[in-house]
Amino acid sequence: MIPDDHPRAASLMTREKLVDGFKRNIVVAEGLIAHGRGEAFDYLLGEKTTEMAESAVRAAAALLLISKNAVLSVNGNAAALCAKEIVELADITGAKIEVNLFYRTEERERAIKAELERHGARQVLGVGEKASARIPELSSERRRVDPEGILVADTVFVPLEDGDRTEALAKMGKSVITVDLNPLSRTARAANITIVDNLVRVMPALVQKASALKGKDEKTLRQIVELFDNEENLDQSLASIRSGAK
């Protein structure tokens, strides 16, 4: 339906994926609205990956590789847009995959688990009774986590997140990596590493970078993480939006 030569074909295809995910009970209606907000920022960024995002992707890949117990937290939008890359990233980095929803229903949890399994996931945490632990100080449904996953993780990757959980995870001493096109969001500011870019561009880049860095010694990877300054990166991303994404 969408012609390949349409100037905004990629953006329209992404919308189609989300609408398809909505029809299959993976994406919630509010997820379509959240994507619209993301699109507005993406438009201001020129719908392309900035140098700042590249550097955040590199730091995120390094952190995932040196973490002892990393977990990739998956919501409806992330599952609809990049289930394949989430599974690939988990395979390369040894991270676990956990479903964690703001608008939690067991039907959606199962639909998302099935979508991840369809793309090769062998284990999906956080579904049904398995989400039996609670994140302290969090009142949303996102507080329900898997005792084998997010509860005991040292690093949590939380694409398209709400600020409350990022702050709560940070208070629990976990390192948080997020993807958010809005550099002003509470999530973006509270995370250790924020990738200000569209998730559909981030995930393939993250898979590629993690493959390239895998096998490097821990000291080199730790240095990449330590040299990354999230606040500075966010300020530069904002400056890039202000100046018309040059």
- If one asks whether residue 181 binds ligand PTJ (CB under 6 A), the answer comes out as yes
Binding mask 142-161 for ligand PTJ (x = CB under 6 A): ------------------x-
> Which residue among 50, 67, 77, 166 contacts ligand PTJ (CB under 6 A)?
77
Task: Candidates 37-45, 46-54, 113-121, 229-237: pick the segment binding ligand PTJ (CB under 6 A).
Answer: 37-45
Nearest CA-CA partner of 75 in 147, 164, 199, 158: 158
Beta strand spans in the chain (E):
70-74, 96-99, 133-134, 144-145, 155-159, 175-179, 193-195
> Which residue among 67, 182, 194, 240 contacts ligand PTJ (CB under 6 A)?
182
For the segment 191-210, give every residue that binds ligand PTJ (CB under 6 A).
198-199
- If one asks whether residue 97 binds ligand PTJ (CB under 6 A), the answer comes out as no
Q: Do 198 and 181 meet the contact criterion of CB atoms below 8 Å apart?
A: yes
- If one asks whether residue 31 binds ligand PTJ (CB under 6 A), the answer comes out as yes
3-state secondary structure (DSSP) of residue 28: coil
> Which residue among 55, 166, 185, 233 contacts ligand PTJ (CB under 6 A)?
185
Q: Which two tokens stand for residue 110?
A: 């199962």
Q: Do 93 and 64 meet the contact criterion of CB atoms below 8 Å apart?
A: yes
CB of 116 or CB of 179, closer to ligand PTJ: 179
For 233, counting Cβ atoms within 10 Å of its Cβ (0-12 exposed, 13-18 middle, 19+ buried), the class is buried
Nearest CA-CA partner of 190 in 202, 180, 201, 198: 180
- Smallest separation (angstroms) from ligand PTJ to the CB of 57: 13
Q: What residue ranges bind ligand PTJ (CB under 6 A)? A: 28, 30-31, 34-35, 37-38, 41, 75-77, 101-103, 160, 162, 179-182, 185, 198-199
